[in-house]
């Protein structure tokens, strides 16, 4: 299972900044999509309304907050993880919200959920 901490760490590794409302919104969205990947087929019809209701905002605000976070972030400067996941995009070509959510969801499910030791801080300190 993917935790809130795993998601936040991944977003930070992608260069997203927590000062944007979209950062927190993306955490909620990714919690939902990693728990039930079939929701990826209904980003605007299922995910946005569900998250909006959970956090008390409008579905349009969910979409706008995510878009603002993606457009206003260091994600576009090419952190190593961003280069790995979004190699098809250049600095002027930001993925759509749905593309970003889908790619990051699949990354979390295939790299974090299947290898939880990758983010195990205790294991890292034991190897020192």
21-35 and 97-107 helices cross at what angle (nearest 10)? 60
Q: How far is CA 111 from CA 61, 76, 114, 124, in A?
A: 30, 22, 6, 17
Predicted local confidence at residue 60, as pLDDT: 96
Helix, strand, coil: what percent of the chain each, to 5?
Answer: 75, 0, 25
Per-residue pLDDT of the chain (128 residues; tens, 9 = 90+): 899 999 999 999 999 999 999 999 999 999 999 999 999 999 999 999 999 999 999 999 999 999 999 988 766 667 889 888 888 876 667 889 999 999 999 999 999 876 655 544 343 333 33
| 7 backbone φψ class: left, alpha, beta (φ>0; ψ -120 to 50) | alpha
Predicted local confidence at residue 79, as pLDDT: 85
Predicted local confidence at residue 105, as pLDDT: 97
Predicted local confidence at residue 73, as pLDDT: 77
Burial of 65 (0-12, 13-18, 19+ CB in 10 A): buried
């Amino acid at each position: 299972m993917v935790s809130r901490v795993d998601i936040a760490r991944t977003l930070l590794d992608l260069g997203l900044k927590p000062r944007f409302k979209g950062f927190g919104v993306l955490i909620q969205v990714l919690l939902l999509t990693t728990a039930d990947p079939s929701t990826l087929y209904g980003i605007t019809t299922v995910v946005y309304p569900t998250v909006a209701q959970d956090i008390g905002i409008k579905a349009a605000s969910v979409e706008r907050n995510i878009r603002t976070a993606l457009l206003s972030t260091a994600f576009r400067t090419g952190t190593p993880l961003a280069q790995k996941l979004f190699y098809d995009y250049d600095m002027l070509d930001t993925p759509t919200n749905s593309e970003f959510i889908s790619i990051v969801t699949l990354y979390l499910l295939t790299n974090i959920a299947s290898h939880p030791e990758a983010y195990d801080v205790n294991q890292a300190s034991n190897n020192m």
